[in-house]
Structure 1
Amino acid sequence: MSGDSPPANLAATTARRGGERFVPDAGPGAQPPQDPGSGSRCDTIDAAITAAAAAHPDKPAVIDPAHRLTYRELDTATAELAAGLVAMGIGTGTRVGLLAPNNTGWVRTALALTRIGAVLVPLSTLLTPPELLAQLRTASVQVLIAAEEFRGHRYLDDLRTALDSPLTPPILHPELPSLRTVLTIDEAAALRGDATDVARALAAAVTPADPLTILFTSGSRGAPKGVVHAHGSALGAVRAGLADRCITAETRLYLPMPFFWVGGLGGGILSALLAGATLVTEEIPHPETTLRLLERERVTLFRGWPDQAQALAREAGAVGADLSALRPGSLEALLPPELRSRPGARANLFGMTESFGPYCGYPADTDMPEQAWGSCGRPFPGTEIRIDSPAPGEIGEILIRGPHILRGRCGRTREELFTPDGYYRTGDLGRLDDAGFLFYHGRSDDMVKVSGATVYPGEVERALRSLPAVAQAYVTDLPGPRIAAAVVCHTDTSAEELRSAARGVLSAFKVPAVWLLLDSDDPVPRGGTGKVDLPALRALLDAWGTTARNPR
């Protein structure tokens, strides 16, 4: 245990190994925790917008390839739209589904809704009609705002067909008993009204304890879950990780993650808003257009998916894109060699929808102590971690507690979600070392027994990703039992070469018996929330068979 004096935020950063309580030192980038119920600082969306507009009126707040809004314009545009929303009957507590791609319009609509206390329900543009119906029902959505078409999906037409209804108001349909109004994104954007004073009064009445959003998440199995976050808890979670994620008022942040995921909403929109940073986004990332966007907007921080960064790095030379504005903390494939860290030296930010993004990390531009390499860093201020394991230092389920985690889940009681002393069972497996660094070991429901020994697919994935030839790895079990891996390679290699290299980083019984080599992760099946669909991945790998073959 560290011999340093305990940090001032003792209660908020406490971690536990097994039943043992200890307090890691605060570490680089630590910030004092904020009580989301206190009303201090910017603990509602309205307060955050007002403060950002006052501090950075002429700075771009959000940019897409076709539009941009300064913070002053964002304040004005969301206030005008809020008045129009109020005029049509949307107000405190109204649950509004938003189904559209990333752009400045998504940001404007979402912030206008939450500014007046409506509950934002971001919906995935990947949803099929049955999945969309299920999520609208689960969240009791009352108003749906949707793009008419995106990437071949005609969401409202498909919904009309599924319900055999024209969806004209007032909508009264037994499949969606709460839904009353449907608008296209263009119709919503055009809303205006003379309810400005009422909108201001509603915004002023919102408290940090009021619900902000219902975000859908699912693991690799099971139905999606509607996770409820309040204004204060969500903004507190975002604020706690800003320093470790290297986001400041000077940051120009590119984030490809969809806004309907917590990574896009919290890691992108709300992070930029609280820091006074500039967010750069686009509807459909494509290597050449993305590189030109990064160059044109002088993006300083690229966060997102490592495989996307690697694909962009491969194209950057051919395109001739100038990425010299990027700073450490960005995904390293896009940085020049002299700014990159050694493998495993930087923390893998770790979190979940239920924690409103990362709850564990380390400054993204700083190497961790060597004994912590490969870890996820340490708990952010405001989050306590306990490992449910037989003894200190052993692997067990990760439990989290604190003011920044979920307020609840649609259709579930508090007793079903939390332990009697207030911890949320994450279903993730991990261990804490003596300095409080968290090491992730996969999901509790994905543990596999091979020849009587325990294998965690997440551990195998991390080991494979450490190999020079591997850009991405997806690991699961097959009947036998056998370990199987779908691997994206950025150099020409064979399954036998990968197997040989894997023996250097994994015990023999953990080395995959089935290998599927891919040029990209496009064939990897995913569900509506973007997570890997494990049953479908198993089917893909099972069809490939036990023979190590190379599709190249």
Structure 2
Amino acid sequence: MPEPVAHTIDELVRLRAAQHGDRPMVIDPTGRVSYRQLDSTTTDLAACFVEAGVGKGTRVALIMPNCTRWIEIAVALTRVGAVLVPLSTLLQAGELAAQLRVAAVQFLVTVEEFRGHRYVDDVRALPPPELPALRQVWTTGQLDVATASDRVRRIIDAMTETVTAADPMVIMFTSGSSGNPKGVIHSHGNALGAVRSGLAARCISSDTRLYLPMPFFWVGGFGSGILSALLAGATLVTEEIPRPDTTLRLLERERVTLFRGWPDQAEALARHASSAGVDLSALRPGSLDALLPVEQRAAPGARAALFGMTEAFGPYCGYPADTDMPASAWGSCGKPFGGMEVRIVDPNSGAPVPPGTAGMIHLRGPHTLRGICGRSREELFTPDGFYPTGDLGHLDDDGFLFYHGRSDDMFKVSGATVYPSEVVRALRSIDGVDHAFVTNVPGPAGDRVGAAVVRGKPALNRDQLRDQARTLLSSFKVPTVWLFLESDEDVPRGGTGKVDTRRLREMLAETNP
């Protein structure tokens, strides 16, 4: 008998509590919450929110680091139909005000302080006209002691029953490599459908113990982490601040079976694992290769690099993470998941192009965004309902998608096209390069290829890197401007965590005007 399909967060929480009551839904270094406890605590929390005036459609922002409480607050809000607005803990005061304003946030829940940020002070320093929609600011400490009347508690079930798959669930902020962040609106139905479509490819099932380093305020953490665990009935393992030593101990202690996320973090952990003496034998194929035994690792390019975006609520393209793709598809992102239609069009004319031809990626289907704050549907979608992503790629004859980079990142050197992502892949394949970031750098004779590199061991110098790059890339793609960084933390990033390409370009130009 097929499992009932949950169309809202409330339906999903009730279903999992009935099926997997005592199984941990989420574990952090200081506690754990079972599926039954999640049902109970979020019902109580929802009543506290309703007592304070939160209802269906109320936009509530949340600023706090990853922990079990983050999930409880988010689930409580969405169960009664409030719209969750996860905000980055990286935001500076001006960025925070802008996002609160764009999303017309009415309630804000925030930690008192995190990594030097005092978000309440930032908000209260603003004159009221700056945030006309904002009605109340709570700290998580205030929420912990909040109570609700019996009258309110009695109506929570009735409120949850009014929530439908079509209702907005979350506003996720994103940005391109530059430019202002966008508030992307997703409904219960489209978000859950998008995550559900990729579970099998990501090897997430009910017996998975999943660790992701992504913050919950990004779609990678919220969708690929929290909602993936809920939909699969799996266990999610998380922590506030990933650090090699503490993360490795957490992976060992909780017998994590699947490590997904950033390849560079997996590589950093792998470098520490042997000296730390931890047992990671519970990890299964499908985890990032760097943490697996050598005999379980795939050949470079054989496994799909899951590909997605906030507007698609995470990955929309992939292939089973523990399975090699056909040889002809190596280096691709896999195939579009069910519920997502992908076409490639000429960036100038908008006309579809044949397989093998690069162009802009367009998406259509029930799992795409419902809208963007402040923008009409006509501004966002083509007349036939496709969303132009701004990403470049091509489909092969078998339907595998190959990514070429962003249309706004692509640039010309002496008339020839350079895709930064291609140069990054080549540089990262060089032994001694931990990470690389590539963009154009204006010069007297036009654009040059610039690369900011985080070096590992052996620590190659500029000439050695250039010589090795020449064996991998056409001459016009080889960087001529180089910048060496101590770590990934030295890379400039905006409030949504993406690389600030404009500032990176300035840093590169400063090293070689």
How would you bin the TM-score normalised by the shorter chain?
Answer: over 0.9
Q: 1:150 aligned to 114, 128, 135, which one?
A: 114
Tell me the secondary structure at the aligned position of residue 325 of structure 2.
Answer: coil
Correspondence list, 1:379-458, <5 A: 379-389=336-346, 391-392=353-354, 393-458=356-421
Report what 1:351 is aligned to. 308
Shift of 1:495: 2.1
Correspondence list, 1:149-298, <5 A: 149-163=113-127, 173-193=128-148, 194=150, 195-298=152-255
C-alpha distance in 1 between matches for 2:357 and 2:48: 55
Report what 1:473 is aligned to. 436
Shift of 1:504: 2.1
Shift of 1:470: 2.5
C-alpha distance in 2 between matches for 1:517 and 1:333: 23
Shift of 1:463: 2.2
Is 1:41 the counterpart of 2:8? The answer is: no
C-alpha distance in 2 between matches for 1:235 and 1:516: 42
C-alpha distance in 2 between matches for 1:53 and 1:544: 57
Shift of 1:517: 2.8
Aligned residue identity for 2:25: A
C-alpha distance in 2 between matches for 1:305 and 1:466: 16
Task: Encode CA deviations 1:98-140: one digit per residue, 9 max, x unaligned.
Answer: 0111000000000000000000000100001110000000000
| 1:85/1:192 contact within 8 Å kept | no
Between Structure 1 and Structure 2, how many residues are aligned? Answer: 500
Report what 1:527 is aligned to. 494
Q: Report which stretch shifted further, 458-467 or 311-320.
A: 458-467
Tell me the secondary structure at the aligned position of residue 386 of structure 1.
Answer: strand
| 1:129/1:162 contact within 8 Å kept | no
C-alpha distance in 2 between matches for 1:353 and 1:190: 34
Q: Report which stretch shifted further, 45-54 or 389-398.
A: 389-398
Report what 1:106 is aligned to. 70
C-alpha distance in 2 between matches for 1:465 and 1:364: 21
Is 1:76 the counterpart of 2:40? The answer is: yes
| 1:382/1:402 contact within 8 Å kept | yes
Tell me the secondary structure at the aligned position of residue 91 of structure 1.
Answer: coil
TM-score of the aligned structures, taking structure 1 as reference length = 0.89
Segments of 4+ moved more than 6 angstroms:
none
Is 1:120 the counterpart of 2:120? The answer is: no
| 1:343/1:466 contact within 8 Å kept | no
Q: 2:452 aligned to 483, 486, 495, which one?
A: 486
C-alpha distance in 2 between matches for 1:463 and 1:348: 15
TM-score of the aligned structures, taking structure 2 as reference length = 0.95
Is 1:509 the counterpart of 2:476? The answer is: yes
Report what 1:549 is aligned to. none
C-alpha distance in 1 between matches for 2:321 and 2:433: 22
Aligned residue identity for 2:86: P
C-alpha distance in 1 between matches for 2:409 and 2:87: 27
Q: Which runs of 5+ in 1 are unaligned?
A: 1-31, 35-39, 164-172, 547-552
Tell me the secondary structure at the aligned position of residue 215 of structure 1.
Answer: strand
Task: Encode CA deviations 1:25-72: one digit per residue, 9 max, x unaligned.
Answer: xxxxxxx9x9xxxxx711100011011111111100001100100100
Tell me the secondary structure at the aligned position of residue 367 of structure 2.
Answer: coil
C-alpha distance in 2 between matches for 1:133 and 1:209: 29
Report what 1:540 is aligned to. 507
Higher relative contact order (CA 8 A, sep 6+): 1
Shift of 1:192: 2.6
Aligned residue identity for 2:452: A
C-alpha distance in 2 between matches for 1:323 and 1:450: 46
C-alpha distance in 2 between matches for 1:465 and 1:363: 23
Task: Encode CA deviations 1:134-160: one digit per residue, 9 max, x unaligned.
Answer: 000000000000000001111101222
C-alpha distance in 1 between matches for 2:243 and 2:422: 31
